[in-house]
Structure 1
Amino acid sequence: MDEVERKALSFLEKWLHKTVKDYVVHMNGDQNGRLHETIVGGIEKPLVEMVLKQVNGNKTQAANILGINRNTLRRKIQDHKIKWEKEA
């Protein structure tokens, strides 16, 4: 893991500990919580959009950066209704 990855991971861990703690305490073991879905869904769409923008819509490059299969990326684009227009 390089320095950039370590910094990103550290930031995410601090943010999760600070932000999610109240939610977990409030749920108190309730089985109807949607914490995983909420966090992943809230991060996944802007992450995919940002990476697509950086690679000018190249799905193969975006999938490689994200570490996922190109078909998985295509499904995520459809699931999140991400619209992409290639920049001129």
Structure 2
Amino acid sequence: MSKEQIQEAISKSLQDYFNVLDGQKPTGIYDMIMHTVEKPVLATVMAHARNNQSLAAEMLGINRNTLRKKLLEHELL
């Protein structure tokens, strides 16, 4: 899957979200999306890295301590 396909999937999901709101004013969209997307990203990368946090952090381009904090936040440890 290309970056463009991922962007299209996210765009479609957001449009579906707005359609469900049926005119209601959304708030906190950025935080909602980041939190929603972050958990499966972390879980998938950790599985691909065979639960090696150093490797997963390198793959994600973040510090290992940051990864550990995020894993705890999402109850993935």
* Bigger Rg, structure 1 or 2: 1
Aligned twin of 2:58: 64
- Report the CA distance between 1:47 and its aligned residue: 0.9
Q: Which runs of 5+ in 1 are unaligned?
A: 84-88
Q: Does 1:81 align with 2:70?
A: no
- The Cα of 1:15 is off from its aligned counterpart by 1.9
Question: What one-letter code is carried by the residue in structure 1 that aligns with 2:59?
Answer: I
Report deviation, 1:27.
5.2
Question: Deviation per CA, 1:16-42, whole angstroms, max 9, x where unpaired?
Answer: 3322235298455x6xx1211121111
1:16 counterpart = 2:48: no
User: What is the rounded CA distance, in whole Å, between the counterparts of 1:57 and 1:77 in structure 2?
Assistant: 11
Unaligned runs of 5+ in 2: none
Structure ranking higher on relative contact order (CA contacts 8 Å, 6+ apart) = 1
Superposition deviation, residue 56 in structure 1? 1.2
Let me know the Cα RMSD of the aligned residues: 2.1
Identity, in percent, stands at 28
Are 1:45 and 2:17 counterparts? Answer: no
